[in-house]
Structure 1
Amino acid sequence: MAASAWALLGLFLAALLVLAWPVGRLLAAVCGERVPRWMARVEAPLYRLAGTAPAQAMHWRRYALALLAFNAIGAVFLYALQRLQGVLPLDPAGMGAVSPDSAFNTAVSFVTNTNWQGYAGEATMSHLTQMLGLAVQNFFSAATGIAVAFALIRGFARRGEGGARGVVGNFWVDLVRITLWVLLPLAFVLALLLAGQGVIQNFDAPVLVHPLEAAPGGTQALAMGPVASQEAIKMLGTNGGGFFNANSAHPFENPTALGNLMQMLAIFLIPAGLCFAFGRVVGDIRQGWAVLAAMTAMFVVAVVVVVHAEQAGNPLLAPLGVDQVAGALQSGGNMEGKEVRFGIDASALFAAITTAASCGAVISMHDSFTPLGGMVPMVLMQLGEVVFGGVGSGLYGMLVFAVLAVFIAGLMIGRTPEYLGKKIEVREMKLIAITILVTPVLVLAGTAVAALAGAGRAGIANPGAHGFSEVLYALSSAANNNGSAFAGLSANTPFYNALLGLAMWFGRFAVIVPVLAIAGSLAAKRRLPATAGTLPTHGPLFVCLLIGTVLLVGLLNYVPALALGPIVEHLVLWK
């Protein structure tokens, strides 16, 4: 990896650490049971509107039902908004109703924090739909993920004493506080910073311009809209849905190198901050550092692999006399599909960041990456997006693997496994097995259905190994709630809109429910004091054990499928 790539990676990680620490303190305060009196006064009307009170703690089952009901209502509302946008205001471009299958897919996509887009944003959605539908769900889906992480953290932190067994908090309180005191202030600040970099923010109709290369009198319509406000929560909430079809490769969404760095930092800001919040709430900040260290180590390896693969270039171009060596006048390597303003280093780093988190925003076409370079984003999703991961989902996914790692260690040394003083028993392991197996089943079964069905094969533009990789990537992205794509797959069809919509819904909520059940089970247990025989879960040994568990358990399910796609494609390319 070139020195410039190392410098960019080092700058990114250093800035992330500096920014994530105060965000972690904020998240820990919001996760607590009490807030300052002035904050409680602001929240009170919202609780009356919801018919709840901060003191009404919920059992995990009630918490899960409230969460599912809220998100189901959100999906229905967003579907209706798309279908009716042609007769609603704030539609200066005259957008018509979205088709039923696309509206279904988009509603599920934004409610589940996936933001898969089978449509061109500026040519499909009105300003009202973008703001009242998509942007609102960007906030609520992110708040839902953080709320689940809070519930699991409380499960570890509670002592299991008294009559409130299995209580994990109040979903409505968590939703209000996360949205009001975390997401809105951060999004407001980031929106101002992005607007200062040139991201547009208006309510104008498309502007007609005269391109230099157009025929005399020829015009082109440039879409306008409230982009900066949506871009901010798109990144902070690890949503990824772009206002424009080109997503963050569009200069109206991402105009400068500094703005690009801001967006990359925003994707990891809350996931990294949640690690520090976890350590604070459970009373041992070293636990948060251990989780963060495991995430960072895997992320650095992923970045090194993808940057090296793209800098190596395409061997088929060398015999044609194409110079792919980096020099003063060219970036070298495989520049196909890359963001030419930022080069391979930033494009590859962005690809690793957006797929390590459940973001899905892109500044380059992952479909044009080399086989191994494209496999890295795919693998980062297939690991369960626990390498920082989405807001909330990354932390609770990694904590599930941490509990599994402790269980494996307990089997090896012949002791009852414990994590943070909570015994890990049969019930927790059954729930963890469900949590880990849901997404591989959805990905592999969905890929098989798409490869066998005629309607699925009809969307594949590139036959052979790469076409299979495109389908595998799409299902990996949908079931893991990422939203990025290998763009060669024609997925905006009734078949793929239905298949991917189902994968997104169950990939989100069939994981959240068992995680909440784990939180309730842990909350009911007494927290035992550490003894001489307790496995330390804050040192380098546990970090290595955690990384090994994630790689072995999270990745082995996909090895046969990867062998049929990117691996065989790499072998064919390099012969």
Structure 2
Amino acid sequence: MNTEISGIIALFVATVLLAIPFGKYIAKVYAGEKTLLDPVFNPVEKLFYRISGIDATQEMNWKQHLTAMLGINFIWFFLSMFILMNQGWLPLNPDGNPSMSPDLAFNTAISFIVNCNLQHYSGETGASYLTQLVGLMYLHFVSAATGMAACAIVFNALRERQAEKLGNFYNYFLKSCTRILLPVSMVVASLLVFNGSPMTFEGKDTITTLQGDSVQVSRGPAAAFIAIKHLGTNGGGFFGVNSAHPFENPSYFTNGIEMITQMLIPFAFIFALGYYLNRKRLAWTIFGVMTVGFLSLTIPTVIAEMNGSPAIAHLGVVQPNGSMEGKEARFGTAASGYWSIATTVISTGSVNSMHDSSMPLSGAMQLLAMMINAFYGGCGVGILNYFIFIVLAVFISGLMVGRTPEFLGKKVEAREVKIAAIIAILHPFLILVGAALSSYLAARDAPMGWWFNGNATGWLNNPGYHGFSEMLYEYTSSAANNGSGFEGLGDNNPFWNITTGIVLLLSRYLPIIGPVAIAGLLASKKYIPESAGTLKTDTSTFAIMTFAVIAIIAALSFFPALALGPLAEHFKLFK
């Protein structure tokens, strides 16, 4: 077997093997059971509660959970805006990076708060060390913990009983930071430091190249930032080119560490669901559906990148290493293709190669991974997105057999289905409206005035199909809370900063509010024990049904847009 293929298979298997016991640990944390880290973090958490005056034992209903979540996120937004717009004169800015403009600060603050980390600035030249650590790395922790806490609320709601109160949001949130994110981040950061990632507050260093040129090289406290950006499925790069940078990702070994790290919590949360509800078979069913979807996207991508461009092959040029444009030689095409789908499926958004240089078919798979947005997904929110499709699949299955649909002993009725339908429709609506608006302006070469210094076509470095794909990718990445991009797009201007910022807000909070509301409504209903007529949701039949619902909704929503962009570009290569 090709050693590159063996490498990515080994990474996937290692992630699963680590995720199973980690999922059991996560279930214990949220269930309030004893863990090995209790002696370390119990005093720390009690100190936080004493200082803040929060009573972590006071349980909340689903509406109170959402109020707490939205309130604390609102505060983070203003704190982040202040730091971003004033970093030029604030301390820890040895390289003298300027403050951000209001529209760029607006986009960046929202992007990091919602766990998307869409960067319309270049990391090392656009943000000071204070911004990177206090303004952004802090948000890496709390934005991931917000999604994990929301998922814990849903776990609690799906237990076999009737309840109005579903735990305490602050308890779930703080435990997500202290018991899960912080310990693993420390381990990963240590591994990165000992393998070449910098961890210093010194500014740029001057080095002399082999050619005798003097070059300024950015440094900084990168290792800690890189660890949590992957573990929390954030993805925002400390350096502009993200994990393609030799300081963010020095070797194939660190590439494997970062690959496992970004997939660990999304995998573990699936198994945590099984342990928390004592329904391990359901967890494996969900994992099976997600893995089939993941492989359906990964295999064509890896093959396309390893085979290279048909247009170049037609000229008689041999491509022994595949399509190496935009890729790092130390990773190769297979590991780069695997990363590109993992980062878009999981909503990390970090990159170890440039997606704008991927083969068109690979670009289509990357887009589709974010458009579906339910295979593994981000920290906690991946399960929430999949939960929406479970509700729809249960409803359709109930109609097919002529029974009132049920899920885990609770009747799924009109209110729950309406909420699920709205959330399912919202995602393609935001993507396609944004892509249509930007395409219309670019096609007309519309003068943008203060929105952009020039006409709309000035956004695009590439015309035609690829230019459309760049705009489609930007809104898809925003709506999927991903953050990666086809970087041929000139996106640091008021038009893209503001419009994607609005998409970021709507696509983050409504898909959390919807599943939490559905779970809260289900929890308040009387529990109905399983009977001979109960629809089993942990079988291969229901798994196929759920996969079909996901595939049909994605195809109906996105195939025309994909056909106009990456698919058209793919077939043009054979002309």
Fold conserved between structures, TM > 0.5: yes
Alignment match of 1:58 (pick from 60, 65, 72): 60
Q: Which residue of 2 aligns with 1:203?
A: 201
2:412 aligned to which of 424, 430, 434? 424
Letter in 2 for 1:471: M
**Structure 2: how far apart are the matches of 1:269 and 1:476?**
23
How far 1:48 sits from its partner (Å)?
2.7
Q: Which residue of 1 aligns with 2:426?
A: 438
Q: Which residue of 1 aligns with 2:10?
A: 11
Q: Distance in 2 between matches of 1:476 and 1:457?
A: 20
Deviation at 1:50, TM superposition (A): 2.9
Give the SS at the match of 1:220.
strand
Q: Where does structure 1 differ by over 6 angstroms across 4 or more consecutive aligned residues?
A: none
Among 178, 182, 204, the alignment partner of 2:180 is 182
Note the 1:78-477 alignment, pairs <5 A.
Answer: 78-161=80-163, 165=164, 167-213=165-211, 218-324=213-319, 326=320, 331=321, 333-384=322-373, 386-453=374-441, 454=446, 455=448, 456-477=456-477
Q: Secondary structure at the match of 1:317?
A: helix
Partner SS state of residue 381, structure 1: helix
8 Å Cα contact 1:422-1:525 kept in structure 2? yes
Whichever residue aligns with residue 494 of structure 2, its letter is P
User: What is aligned with 2:510?
Assistant: 510
Mapped to 2, the partners of 1:448 and 1:267 lie a distance apart of 32
Contact kept? 1:47, 1:173, Cα under 8 Å = no
Q: C-alpha distance in 1, partners of 2:525/2:297? A: 37
Structure 2 counterpart of 1:243, one-letter code: F
- Residue 56 of structure 2 aligns to a residue whose secondary structure is coil
Q: Is the 8 A contact 2:116 2:481 kept in 1?
A: yes
Tell me how far 1:496 sits from its aligned partner. Answer: 0.5
State whether residues 379 and 555 of structure 1, in contact with CA within 8 Å, keep that contact through their aligned partners in structure 2.
Answer: no
- Measured against aligned partners, the alpha-carbon deviations of 1:413-436 in whole angstroms (never above 9, x if no partner) come to 111111111111111101101211
State whether residues 94 and 202 of structure 2, in contact with CA within 8 Å, keep that contact through their aligned partners in structure 1. yes
Q: Note the alpha carbon deviations across 1:175-212, whole angstroms, 9 max, x for none.
A: 11110111000101111111122111111110011223
Letter in 1 for 2:377: G
In the aligned structure 2, how far is the partner of 1:562 from the partner of 1:67? 35
1:231 is paired with a residue whose SS is helix
Give 1:42 shift. Answer: 3.2
Range moving further from structure 2, 397-406 or 176-185: 397-406
Q: Provide the secondary structure at the position in 1 that maps to 2:396.
A: helix
Deviates more, 1:44-53 or 1:281-290: 44-53
Q: Secondary structure at the match of 2:323?
A: coil
- Is the CA contact 1:450–1:457 (under 8 Å) kept in the aligned structure 2? no
Count, aligned residues? 560
Deviates more, 1:40-49 or 1:299-308: 40-49
Structure-2 change in CA distance of 1:177 and 1:114 (3 Å): same
Contact 2:385 2:511 survives alignment (8 Å):
no
SS in 1 for 2:330: coil
**Which amino acid is 1:203 matched to?**
F
Equivalent in the alignment of 1:548: 548
Structure 2 counterpart SS, 1:557: helix
The reply on whether 1:524 has 2:539 as its aligned counterpart is no
Q: 1:241 deviation in Å?
A: 0.4
SS in 2 for 1:458: helix
Question: Quick one: distance in 2 between partners of 1:28 and 1:173?
Answer: 14
Q: Which amino acid aligns with 1:28?
A: A
CA drift of 1:312 comes to: 2.6
Which residue is equivalent to 1:533?
533
Q: CA deviation at 1:119?
A: 0.8
Higher mean C-alpha displacement, 401-410 vs 40-49: 40-49
Q: Secondary structure, in 3 states, of the residue corresponding to 1:209?
A: strand
Question: What is the DSSP-based 3-state SS (H/G/I as helix, E as strand, rest coil) of the residue aligned with 2:93?
Answer: coil
Deviates more, 1:341-350 or 1:543-552: 543-552
Mean CA deviation greater in 273-282 or 52-61: 52-61
Do the aligned partners of 1:407 and 1:417 also contact (CA within 8 Å) in 2?
Answer: yes
Q: What SS does the aligned partner of 2:311 have? A: coil
Give the residue type in structure 2 aligned to 1:528.
I
Q: Distance in 1 between matches of 2:473 and 2:98?
A: 31
Give yes or no for contact 1:200–1:224 (8 Å, CA) kept in 2. Answer: yes
Question: Which residue number corresponds to residue 77 of structure 1?
Answer: 79
- CA–CA distance in structure 2, aligned partners of residues 540 and 551 of structure 1: 16
CA RMSD in angstroms, aligned pairs only: 1.5
2:328–2:352 Cα contact (<8 Å) kept: yes
Cα-to-partner distance string for 1:298-357 (whole Å, 9 max, x where unaligned): 111211110112223212213433212x3xxxx2x2111122211111000000110011
When normalised by structure 2's length, the TM-score is: 0.95
Tell me the SS of whatever aligns to 1:348: helix
**Structure 1: which amino acid aligns with 2:293?**
M
1:30-41 → structure 2 map (5 Å cutoff):
30-33=29-32, 38=39, 39-41=41-43
1:43 alignment counterpart: 45
Secondary structure of 2:87's aligned partner: helix
Aligned-residue offset at 1:33:
4.4
Amino acid at match of 2:218: A
- Amino acid of the residue matched to residue 367 of structure 1? D
Following superposition, the deviation at residue 361 of structure 1 comes to: 0.3
Q: Deviations over 1:366-416 (max 9, x none)?
A: 1111111111110000002x1111011111111221221111111111111
Displacement of 1:69: 1.2
Deviations 1:466-499 (A, max 9, x none): 1001100000000111000011111011110111
Partner of 2:564 in structure 1?
564
Task: Provide the rounded CA distance (Å) in 1 between the counterparts of 2:459 and 2:166.
Answer: 44
Alpha-carbon distance in 2 for matches of 1:513, 1:362: 29
CA distance, structure 2, for counterparts of residue 429 and residue 103 of structure 1: 37
Give ranges in structure 2 of 5+ residues lacking alignment.
449-455
Whether the 8 Å contact between 2:207 and 2:216 is mirrored in structure 1 is yes
Bigger CA drift: 493-502 or 35-44? 35-44
Alpha carbons 2:123, 2:238 under 8 Å: kept: yes
* AA of the residue aligned to 2:62: W
Deviations 1:136-162 (A, max 9, x none): 00000000111111111111115115x
1:423 to 1:3, Cα distance in 2 relative to 1, 3 A: farther
TM-score (norm 1): 0.95
Matches of 1:151 and 1:433, distance apart in 2: 21
* 2:452 equivalent in structure 1: none
